[in-house]
Amino acid sequence: MTSVFPLHRYTYQEYVWLEEQSSMRHEFLDGEIVAMAGGTPEHAAMAAELIGQLRDQLRTGQRRVFTSDLGIRVMATGLATYPDASVICGPTERDPEKKTNVVNPRVLVEVTSDGTEHYDRNQKLEHYQQIPTLEAVVVVSHREPRIEVWSRAPGAAEWLRTEAGPSVAAAIPALNCVLDVDAVWRASREPSV
């Protein structure tokens, strides 16, 4: 059965134009443009804690930590999105069609939510793994104190998954740093009065 109202497929150029005109951020994939919903206070607190931990450990050298304001484009698949945090080592390489997006992250971080958990752990992860410069994807659970790190050595094809839970630090070999799982989880809890 075919739809009486076929879906409109957008070009990447139309997506770029929409992003320039809008105060909202959107994700683009396969001709579809999807508005990105705002996160909960808990989600925002976890992302801020992760960014703080990464920034504290990466203050030297050419490694920079970015917030979810930085767009990432996966050139191999066409996905354009805004991860919760990104780390770029050395100069940024810009998307030739959208100069505010970059194409060369070393590490990407996603904090899951009820609405994105399945996508973050599956399809989005698969897209990210197509980025040649990417050496790690960090997936942080919003349900429990758990951080998964998907890592690959430079130039390698195989991705390895490690997991850290309560009282354990999640290692990110690509950056030679760790994330304190308990501190990330505490950041998402309301302070007691």
Helix (H), strand (E), coil (C) string for the chain = CCCCCCCCCCCHHHHHHHHHHCCCCEEEECCEEEECCCCCHHHHHHHHHHHHHHHHHCCCCCEEEECCCCEEECCCCCCEECCCEEEEECCCCEECCEEEEECCCCEEEEECCCCCHHHHHCHHHHHHCCCCCCCEEEEECCCCCCEEEEECCCCCCCCEEEEECCCCEEEECCCCEEEEHHHHHHHCCCCCC
Range 32-42 average pLDDT: 86
pLDDT value at residue 164: 98
Across the chain, mean pLDDT equals 92
Range 7-28 average pLDDT: 90
Model confidence at 2: pLDDT above 60: no
Q: Which fold has domain 39-187?
A: tt1808, chain A (3.90.1570)
Q: Where along the chain do its domains lie?
A: 39-187
Task: Tell me the pTM.
Answer: 0.92
Q: What is the pLDDT of residues 105-157, one digit of tens each?
A: 999 999 999 988 999 999 999 999 999 999 999 999 999 999 999 999 877 78
| Amino acid found at 94 | R
pLDDT value at residue 8: 78
Range 31-46 average pLDDT: 89
